């Protein structure tokens, strides 16, 4: 049976090859394709493939392929019955950072190289701080999404102590004090880049990813107030420790 598969993929080398490889793994043989611009750095890829056709699984598998941002439709390609698309409504557009977040969570705590690679793509210092914090939030939310001690916490301090600190220990010597997290060392403060930046009088790299991580974790809890986390002191600025203040 032939199927028509329509996906929106990122305009990056390898995106289409990964879709084709995923279809092959699924037992389908792509025979024809058409590709057109879908705007916003995306291309719409229409593929005709032969083989066993189980739309539900196919949609799920394709959604997990790196570079696929959206599965638009999956349908029988040439049914005499006037083929109606199986998935008429497209799946939600994936967060462009979804694959990055997944990879950080999967590699935790060996994540510094991944974050540094991402940092290298950020242009200005302001952009760097905002985007790193946002990335940290997404990772934190993903890491503790099933954490019972977080959901059972009755206060911010309890959540910090029972859920956040244990999650941060593999990358720092985190301690909870009131509604603050303090670290005197972390994978972000030992970096050579910090020393170099300080010698040349630039703003040092602060621990924006860590602030985001803590904020993303706490904000998962349905019972605690929504918080913002700011770093008030930082080792890379010469302070004794990094102080992350959780503010409701
Ligand atoms: Zn710091």
Cα 33 → chain centroid: 30
Going from the Cα of 209 to the center of ligand 1, the distance in angstroms, rounded, reads 10
Going from the Cα of 87 to the center of ligand 1, the distance in angstroms, rounded, reads 47
CA end-to-end distance (rounded Å), the chain: 57
Write out the residues surrounding ion ligand 1, Cβ under 5 A.
Answer: 207, 234, 242
Establish how many alpha carbons lie within 13 A of residue 69's alpha carbon, considering only the half-sphere containing its beta carbon: 17
Going from the Cα of 148 to the center of ligand 1, the distance in angstroms, rounded, reads 28
Tell me the percentage of the chain whose pLDDT exceeds 70.
Answer: 89
- Which pLDDT belongs to residue 80? 42
Going from the Cα of 75 to the center of ligand 1, the distance in angstroms, rounded, reads 51
Instruction: Give residues with Cβ within 8 angstroms of 245, minimum separation 6.
Output: 179, 180, 229, 230, 231, 232
Our CA angle for 139, 140, 144, nearest 5°, is: 115
Going from the Cα of 140 to the center of ligand 1, the distance in angstroms, rounded, reads 17
Least confident of 28-32, 36-40, 86-90, 196-200: 196-200
Going from the Cα of 236 to the center of ligand 1, the distance in angstroms, rounded, reads 6
Give just the sign of the alpha carbon dihedral 61, 66, 67, 70.
Answer: positive
Going from the Cα of 203 to the center of ligand 1, the distance in angstroms, rounded, reads 12
- Which pLDDT belongs to residue 162? 96
Going from the Cα of 231 to the center of ligand 1, the distance in angstroms, rounded, reads 7
Q: Which domains does the chain have, with CATH numbers?
A: 2-76 (3.30.70.260), 98-247 (3.30.1380.20)
Tens-place pLDDT, residues 57-103: 888 889 889 999 999 988 887 654 445 566 656 777 888 898 999 99
Tell me the percentage of the chain whose pLDDT exceeds 90.
Answer: 62
Going from the Cα of 242 to the center of ligand 1, the distance in angstroms, rounded, reads 4
Strands (E) located in 27-80: 29-39, 42-50, 68-76
Q: How far apart are CA 5 and CA 186, in angstroms?
A: 46
Going from the Cα of 189 to the center of ligand 1, the distance in angstroms, rounded, reads 6
Instruction: Give residues with Cβ within 8 angstroms of 29, minimum separation 6.
Output: 23, 49, 50, 51
- Average pLDDT score, the chain: 88
Tens-place pLDDT, residues 134-168: 999 999 999 999 999 999 999 999 999 999 999 99
Our CA angle for 63, 66, 67, nearest 5°, is: 90
Going from the Cα of 208 to the center of ligand 1, the distance in angstroms, rounded, reads 8
Count of C-beta atoms within a 10 Å radius of residue 145: 11
């Amino acid at each position: 049976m032939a199927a028509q598969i329509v996906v929106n993929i990122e305009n990056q080398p390898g995106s289409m090859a990964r879709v084709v490889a995923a279809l092959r793994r699924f037992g389908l043989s792509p025979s024809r394709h058409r590709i057109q611009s879908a705007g916003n750095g995306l291309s719409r890829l229409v593929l005709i493939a032969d083989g066993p056709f189980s739309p539900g699984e196919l949609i799920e598998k394709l959604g997990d392929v790196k570079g696929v941002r959206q599965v638009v439709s999956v349908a029988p390609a040439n049914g005499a019955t006037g083929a109606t698309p199986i998935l008429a409504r497209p799946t939600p557009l994936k967060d462009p950072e979804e694959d990055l977040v997944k990879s950080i969570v999967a590699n935790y705590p060996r994540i510094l190289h991944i974050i540094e690679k991402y940092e290298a793509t950020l242009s200005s210092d302001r952009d760097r701080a905002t985007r790193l914090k946002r990335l940290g939030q997404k990772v934190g939310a993903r890491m503790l999404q099933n954490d019972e001690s977080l959901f059972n916490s009755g206060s911010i301090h309890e959540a910090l102590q029972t859920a956040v600190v244990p999650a941060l220990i593999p990358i720092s010597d985190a301690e909870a004090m009131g509604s603050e997290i303090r670290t005197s060392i972390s994978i972000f403060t030992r970096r050579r880049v910090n020393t170099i930046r300080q010698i040349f009088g630039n703003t040092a790299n602060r621990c924006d990813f860590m602030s985001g991580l803590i904020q993303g974790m706490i904000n998962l809890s349905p019972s605690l107030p929504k918080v913002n986390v700011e770093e008030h002191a930082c080792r890379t600025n010469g302070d004794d420790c990094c102080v992350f203040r959780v503010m409701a």
